[in-house]
């Protein structure tokens, strides 16, 4: 289990990512979208929209960008895709969609588009 400070750092990284996306013209549709139960549970950190594009964002708070990518495992990527499919089905979204990663490394923010 993560320490309280680790959890708080993660929440702060998500806050920074939301601000960053807003500065780039995105509207935050949902934060911490959770679907499924038990082993099928998945959480999408941020769902944002700009025009006809919906992005599902995984936020990682790490020391460097490589460890941020390494933290996204294949099973996690599969769960995220299923959660996104559930969201799209429930909302009837008909536009474009993609998966991005925002890595918060200290005070630097790296936005990697189409990454999962």
Q: Give the residue ranges of DSSP H helices in the chain.
A: 4-23, 65-70, 74-91
pLDDT in tens, 8-51: 988 999 999 999 999 999 999 999 999 877 667 889 999 999 99
Question: From CA 17, how far away is CA 70, in angstroms rounded?
Answer: 19
Domains, in order of start, for the chain:
4-112 (3.40.1350.10)
The percent of residues in the chain predicted with pLDDT above 70, rounded, is 95
pTM metric for this prediction:
0.90
The chain-wide mean pLDDT, for the chain, equals: 90
* Cβ within 8 Å of residue 18, ≥6 positions away: 28, 31, 46, 48
Instruction: Please tell me the predicted confidence (pLDDT) of residue 5.
Output: 86
Instruction: Please tell me the predicted confidence (pLDDT) of residue 4.
Output: 64
């Amino acid at each position: 289990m993560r320490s309280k400070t680790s959890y708080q750092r993660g929440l702060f990284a998500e806050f920074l990512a939301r601000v960053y996306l807003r500065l780039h013209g995105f509207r935050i549709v949902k934060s911490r979208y959770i679907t499924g139960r038990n082993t099928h549970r998945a959480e999408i950190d941020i769902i944002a929209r700009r025009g006809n594009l919906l992005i599902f964002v995984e936020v990682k708070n790490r020391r460097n960008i490589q460890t941020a990518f390494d933290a996204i495992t294949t099973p996690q990527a599969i769960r995220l895709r299923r959660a996104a499919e559930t969201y799209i089905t429930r909302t009837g979204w008909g536009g474009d969609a993609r998966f991005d990663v925002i890595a918060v490394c200290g005070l630097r923010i790296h936005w990697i588009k189409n990454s999962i």
